[in-house]
Amino acid sequence: MSNLVHEPVWLHGKPSVEALLRAEPEDFRVTENLGFEPDGEGEHQFLYIRKRGENTDWVARQLAHFCQVSPRDVSYAGKKDRHAVTEQWFSVHLPGHRRNLNWQLFGGDSIEVLRAERHSRKLRLGALAGNRFELRLKQVSDGAELQARFARLAAGVPNYFGEQRFGHHFGNIEKGIALLEGRLKERQRHKKGLYISAVRSWLFNELLSRRIESGYWDRLLEGDVLMINGRQSCFRYDGDPTVAQRLAAGELNLTGPLWGSGELMTDAQAQAFERDALAPHQAVCQRLEAIGLKQERRALRLIPGALAIERESDRQWRLMFDLPAGAFATSVLRELCCWRLPAADGRPEQE
């Protein structure tokens, strides 16, 4: 597997700055933005919960136990990092007589209910606008270089899937390929989805790296497919001269494929580039098509919002930025510094 997975290419070269990340959970804070407010009525109880050092699924199971409902009645919009302090919404289906639970009794030292509101509909996975990140870097080797690289973030970074998606030593990719080839049987549906998603994400990262290496990171190819920044709708480039201007201004982003069945949305030069970039993995692509996954597109560029940086001491800095749903903070961090975790932690866990 190691000869298949390559280190993603950096946009501005590998950083020389080194830093320590997640020395403690408070160094990695995530605040969820749903993009809407609960309407105050209905059978679903929305709970805004702060957790420290806990897994999202574990909190959901604790909620189900506390409310004496099936785990299927508890949902959330997105999984959050375990080794962090995070704030996010959960929903519990609690019709009628189960409305008056005392939420202050739920939790403990690592979990706290900050808000409880009713809503008419269940909270569904992916139904969020994005997340606010506040990260503290310690033992920073070069503060001036960190600031210089941070200033470049406003123009965007490669929208790579983060290493959390791939598991320890890229094991999720290996299992995904084994599933596709019939060498692995997996009964748990969510694990199957995790492994197959890792394969599609790996192929996307491979193509994005190739695009940067080829000098087409921010250059239009004939037949390219673009996405409006912050939205999912796509359209094909037809030579309109205003498209290049909107791309440069950050209004539009080039896209790459999340592989599946159906024709590539790109055409002409762009389609040829994509097929050539993934030609070494043609057999994997064909197996993804065979299991019924549909072609999708993902933006190649990630533009962080509300960027801020604060010096707390000579070797300690605090970073703040907003990211849309589906984006990885580690993809921003890798453009800033070569970060490491405390020795006891190893790699970040896949939730």
Give the residue numbers marked as catalytic: 81
Cβ distance 339 to 22 under 8 Å?
A: no
Residue 143 contacts by C-beta under 8 Å, 6 or more apart in sequence? 311, 314, 315, 317
Torsion of Cα atoms, 269 then 198 then 10 then 338, to 10°: 180
Extract the tokens encoding 250.
């950050």
DSSP for 172-201, please give it: HHHHHHHHHTTS-----HHHHHHHHHHHHH
Q: Where are the beta strands (DSSP E) in 77-229?
A: 85-93, 111-119, 130-138, 157-158, 225-228
Q: SS3 of 38, please?
A: coil
Residue 24 phi/psi, 5° resolution?
-150, 160
Q: Considering Cα of 324, then 132, then 122, then 190, what sign does the dihedral take?
A: positive
Q: How far is CA 164 from CA 32, 40, 84, 173, 188, in A?
A: 18, 35, 14, 11, 20
- Cβ-count burial of 304 within 10 angstroms (0-12 exposed, 13-18 middle, 19+ buried)? buried
Residue 136 contacts by C-beta under 8 Å, 6 or more apart in sequence? 23, 26, 27, 28, 312, 316, 317, 318, 319
Cβ distance 143 to 336 under 8 Å?
A: no
